[in-house]
Structure 1
C-alpha cells in the first residue's frame, strides 16, 4: 500500500498516462498535483478531481513551471513522488526531411520538461532525505526507432538522466527510476500512427498492426498498466528499486 498522506506531483497529468497516474494515487487517498499544457484538459480534470491541485503549465516554460511548482511547494512544503511524465511524440519522417524547429520542440518537451521538474524535486527531496522520482521514457528510449529520430533521442536522454540522478540522489535516500511504455492505446497513439502512416506512405491500419506484431505478447498497453507500475514503485514494496529502466510493453521485439 501507499501512505495516503503522500504528496504526488504529475506533469502532463490531465490526460493519457498522466491522468491515469493521478487517478490511481487519488483513488488511494494520496494528495495529488498535476499540470498540463492543455488548458481544456486541465479544466476537465479539475471538475472530476476537485480536491487535487491542477494548473495549466507548459513544461518547456521555466516561468510557467516555476509558478506551478512554487504553488505546490507553498501548499505542501515538500513532495514525496514526482512523475516527470509530460511528453510529445514529435514529428515523423527521415531525418533529412525534419525541420530544426520540430526537433527543438520535441527535445524541449521531453527533455527540458524533465530537467525543470527534477531540478525542483531534487532540492526538496534532498532536504527531506526521501522521495521518488519517476520519469516517463519509452521503448524508443532503449531501442532504435526509424523515422522518429527526435523522439528516440529525447527518450534516450531521459534514460541517461534517470541513471545519473539515481547516482546523485541515492545517498540522500531519494530513488529515481524511469518507465518505458510501449504502444499505449488512446488518442495520442492514434496521432502518432497517423503521422507515421504519412511518413511511410502506408495505411494507418498497417502501421497500427505493426505495433502489435512487433510485441511478444501481441497486445496494446493501457495507461492504467503504467499507473499501476508507478504505484508499485511508490509503495513500500518498491523501496529498494532505484536507477532502473522499467519497460511496460509486453516485450517489444522491434520498432522497425
Structure 2
C-alpha cells in the first residue's frame, strides 16, 4: 500500500512509456511499469522511488487482468492508466500488407488498449475516480499513406477514447487521447526505413522528408509527450474528458 497516487503505464520499459513513467514518478506517483520485456522493465523500475515491474503482453486479456490485480495487491488502488504500448510495421503499399501484419498492429494498438482499459474500469468505478490516457497519434486524426493498419488502429483508439469518455463520466473517470507527431523512437525508425525503401532514398533523406512535414521544424521528444500526459494525470485536468491532444509540432494542421 502507498499514500501516493498510483499510475499503471503499459509499454513502460523504454521510449515514450519510460519517459512517462519517470515524469509521473517525479510528480509523486507510484508507478507500475508493465511491458512484454520484463527484464528491461525490472531494470527501469528500480531507478524510480516507488515502482514495480509487471510482465504484460497487451494482446492477452488475461495478462491485463493479472497486471491490474498485481498493481492493486501492491498499492491498493489505480488512479491513472496510461495505454502507451503500441507498434507499427515498415511502410508498405496496402496491397502488400499481409493478414499477419494487420493482426499484429490491431492486436497491440487497439485490442491492447481495450483489454487494459476493460480490466481497470471496475476498480476506478469503485473509487468513483480515475484517469485513462490513451496514446493515439497525429495519424489517428490525419491519415497518411503506406501505413494503413497503423492509421486504422489509431483512428480506432481515438473513437474508443470518445466512447469511453461518454460512458464513464458518471463514474468520475476521465478518458482522453494523446496524439504525438514524430518522436525519435525505435517505432518511428521502422517508418523511416520503410520510406527509404519505398522511395529509394537514403535514411538521411527520409529523415529530412519527415522534418519538412513539421511546421515547427523539429521532432518531438519523449519528454515532450510525457509532460502532456503528466498534465492530463494532474488535478489541473480534472474537467477534461473525451478530448484529443496533439503534440506534433503543427503536423496536424499543415
Verify same fold: TM over 0.5.
yes
How far apart are the structure 2 equivalents of 1:253 and 1:77? 40
How far apart are the structure 2 equivalents of 1:201 and 1:130? 51
How far apart are the structure 1 equivalents of 2:229 and 2:96? 37
Aligned length: 252
The answer to whether the 8 Å contact 2:142/2:252 transfers is no
Report the equivalent of 1:216: 215
Structure 1, 23-32 or 198-207: larger mean CA deviation: 198-207
How far apart are the structure 2 equivalents of 1:180 and 1:85? 11
TM-superposed deviation, 1:50: 6.7
CA RMSD of aligned residues (A): 1.7
Residues 54-110 of structure 1 show CA distances to partners (whole Å, capped at 9, x for unaligned) of: 122110012222222211122223211110110002242111101100110000000
Normalising by structure 2, what TM-score?
A: 0.94
Residues 165-196 of structure 1 show CA distances to partners (whole Å, capped at 9, x for unaligned) of: 00000111110000000101233322321123
How far apart are the structure 2 equivalents of 1:69 and 1:235? 21
Structure 1, 4-13 or 132-141: larger mean CA deviation: 4-13
TM-superposed deviation, 1:144: 1.2
Gaps (5+ residues) in structure 2?
Answer: none
How far apart are the structure 2 equivalents of 1:43 and 1:124? 25
How far apart are the structure 2 equivalents of 1:237 and 1:209? 37
Normalising by structure 1, what TM-score?
A: 0.93
Report the equivalent of 2:117: 118
Gaps (5+ residues) in structure 1?
Answer: none
Report the equivalent of 1:192: 191
The answer to whether the 8 Å contact 1:90/1:103 transfers is no
The answer to whether the 8 Å contact 2:132/2:176 transfers is yes
Structure 1, 239-248 or 195-204: larger mean CA deviation: 195-204
Alignment of 1:123-134 (within 5 A): 123-134=122-133
